[in-house]
Amino acid sequence: MKPEPTADSYPQPVASLLAIGEPLDGEWIDYRSLGITAEHIPDLIRMALDEQLHDGPEKASELWAPIHAWRVLGQLQAVQAIAPLLTLFKRIDDFDDDWIESDLPPALAAIGAPVIEPAAAYLADTGKGEWARIAAAETLKEIGCAFPDLRGECVAKLAAQLEQFSGQSNTLNAFLVSQLWDLQAVEAMPVIERAYAAGCVDESVTGDLEDVQIHFGLKTEREHPRKPVQFLDFDESDAWLEAELIADELEHAILSEPEDAPGPPPAPYIAPPKIGRNEPCPCGSGKKYKKCCGS
């Protein structure tokens, strides 16, 4: 049995991160106000990679310390943390760690330009897991969004990877399109069009080519009816897919009702359950909460 992680494992003020507990999703505190400075970077890297913390007890506050650690490293723009932090992307495929998937790319992106080449190399490495590579692509997108002067370089890296569409999964291609979409990368439309024309984009992620063209302002409305989504790279028995289809049918029914039709009485609000970092979604899908009902 692994020993319990303790504050004695880390010097102050880094050890204070062990007691903060669950972070707000997307809302960072100013960790430097805790007295953490560049001299603490080695201990922060050690904390971010600490498997004892990543795999700790579900209800322990220490379980969240690696997330706080990589956020601090982002705030400190710790260039020496780039390579170690990129190794954490492996946990997305190996352990379905959705906090790494969603929270680490913005932290890496906060470091800025020095992240671009390592993230692009990780994205291009076919030996890495698919979702790890998608997280590397997300990192490039986050850099482009956070630093407008770096947007063009990030778009070029993402578009260059999409050029490999015939030799990579439709899911990876779809997320590359999604990240180019977020960067308003209309200059990438030629490769996007080729990927769609080859049938190499999972349309359940961002939609079909006309959706992309409308988003980029190249069309004002659809010229062709949208095809039923095929969910090319997912098992249609997944519980989340059934929920999505039910939601779509309900939305269609609501939009089809006359405007003066009485609506159903409002349902009482029921607070969602508090879900731990590594706990599965309570809906029974088998997925982590943040990648299922918490997304």
Tens-digit pLDDT profile for residues 160-178? 999 999 999 999 999 999 9
Q: How many CB atoms lie within 10 A of CB 161?
A: 22
Domain membership of residue 65 (yes or no) is no
Give φ, ψ of 24 to 5 degrees.
Answer: -75, 135
What percent of the chain has a predicted confidence (pLDDT) above 70?
Answer: 75
Examine the pLDDT at 5 and tell me if it is beyond 80: no
User: Mean pLDDT across the stretch 183-200?
Assistant: 98
Domain membership of residue 256 (yes or no) is no
Would you state the pLDDT for residue 284? 64
pLDDT digits (tens, 9 = 90+) for 220-274: 999 998 887 654 444 444 454 455 555 555 555 555 555 555 555 554 434 444 4
Domain membership of residue 292 (yes or no) is yes
For 239, the domain range is 233-247+280-295
Examine the pLDDT at 286 and tell me if it is beyond 50: yes
Would you state the pLDDT for residue 263? 54
Would you state the pLDDT for residue 227? 80
Which residue did the predictor score with more confidence, 47 or 239? 47
Highest mean pLDDT of the ranges 21-25, 170-174, 272-276, 281-285: 170-174
Domain membership of residue 33 (yes or no) is no
Cα distances from 239 to residues 58, 246, 290, in angstroms, run: 24, 11, 15
Domain membership of residue 209 (yes or no) is no
Would you state the pLDDT for residue 248? 56
Would you state the pLDDT for residue 25? 80
User: Mean pLDDT across the stretch 102-130?
Assistant: 98
List Cβ neighbours of 268 (8 Å cut-off, separation of 6 or more).
none
Domain membership of residue 31 (yes or no) is no
- In the chain, the number of structural domains is 1
Would you state the pLDDT for residue 161? 98
Domain membership of residue 86 (yes or no) is no
Examine the pLDDT at 159 and tell me if it is beyond 80: yes
pTM over 0.85: no
Of the given ranges (38-42, 103-107, 236-240), which has the lowest mean pLDDT?
236-240
Question: Packing angle between helix 151-162 and helix 116-124, nearest 10 degrees?
Answer: 10
Nearest C-alpha neighbor of 17 from the set 73, 82, 91, 58: 73
Highest mean pLDDT of the ranges 45-49, 242-246, 285-289: 45-49
Examine the pLDDT at 196 and tell me if it is beyond 90: yes
Domain membership of residue 293 (yes or no) is yes
